[in-house]
Amino acid sequence: MEPRPASNNSSYAALLTVQIAFGTFPVVGKVVLAVIPSVALVGIRVGIAAIILYGFQRFRGNMRLAEKADYWKLALFGLFGVTFNQLLYVHGLSLTKVTNASLIAVTIPIFALLVGVLIGSEKLRAAKAFGVILAAAGVIFLIDPRNASFSAETTKGDVFVVLNSLSYGIYVATSKNVVTRNGAMKSITWIFLFAALICVPLGTYSLSTIDIASVDLSIWLMALHIAVIATAVPYFFNAWALARVDPSTVAVFVYLQPVIGFLTAVAFLGERIGLNFIIAAALIFAGVFLVTKKLKPVRN
């Protein structure tokens, strides 16, 4: 088991890194999905990430888990946290708008908090619940629902993204104990190895339906970026942080993705920061603060 640090600051830094890495996926993924089928992209994404994580873990030490039951549990987490999560999200993204997917992502922390409360791993504090709602309001205000298109054309994709949010929320809310017991690196490696058993064969078959030779090198490089920077790296840091903070804290950091995306657009595309961004960012950061704020012990 990996040691628990005295301060949560390193965990918050890891979760910020997660959102920066995940935040690069929707736009890059949309470009790749115009050429490569969604199931094929998931196979590439999960397969390459599994190889990288396995190689790194073997270099660090053995692959043995603390308890035999943990293999079954990590296989289940592989289904919810990677297989269902990736297949539902990537396929949903191919059928809907990036804006729709970003708005629907506000349900991830809500699902994670509710599942955590149901299984007893979370306590439903008023401040935490209000923080989730406040941050969600900030995301909605920033993206502006008027930019989304929840129409008949995107309904199927929107439903897939909602199911993705539920799947990932279940994974975050239920995996903490096993990840803490075995360590983040070993746990996430097994999770991806189990997920690869399903995703890689499906992806290989899907990839065989297109003319691979006609796919431009830039598309393959973007797919590699998705597998390494937008998958292996953030999944590891997410698991590392999950072993140290509450599942709802891990989930609520999802709300920083739109802020990071907007700041990236400011830096590279010359977009301007307006009053709506300032208000939205304030709501998001206030919500994250309330969720991550620790209660002071009551003295008798």
Q: What is the pLDDT of residue 57?
A: 93
Lowest mean pLDDT among 123-137, 166-180, 217-231: 123-137
- pLDDT confidence of 3, banded at 50, 70, 90? very low
pLDDT for residue 89 is more than 80: yes
In a domain, 136, yes or no: no
Number of domains making up the chain:
1
Residue 268 lies in a domain: no
The per-residue pLDDT of the chain, averaged, comes to 85
Specify if 129 maps to a domain. no
Per-residue confidence (pLDDT) for residue 295, from 0 to 100: 52
Q: Residue 254's pLDDT is what?
A: 82
pLDDT at 93 over 50: yes
Q: How far apart are CA 11 and CA 238, in angstroms?
A: 9
Question: Could you give the C-alpha distances from 205 to 37, 43, 144, 200, 220, in angstroms and in order?
Answer: 10, 9, 38, 9, 17
Does the residue 265 lie in any domain? no
Asked whether residue 16 is assigned to any structural domain, the reply reads yes
207-244, pLDDT tens digit by residue? Answer: 999 999 999 999 999 999 999 999 999 999 999 998 88
> Percent of the chain having pLDDT more than 90?
44
Mean pLDDT of the region 258-272: 68
Domain that includes residue 92, residue range: 9-124+149-247
What is the model's pTM?
Answer: 0.81
Helix (H, G, I), strand (E, B) or coil at 280: helix
Within a domain: residue 257? no
* In-domain check, residue 100: yes
**Residue 1 pLDDT > 60:** no
The residues near 23 (Cβ < 8 Å, ≥ 6 apart) are: 257, 260, 261, 264
Q: Does residue 289 belong to any structural domain of this protein?
A: no
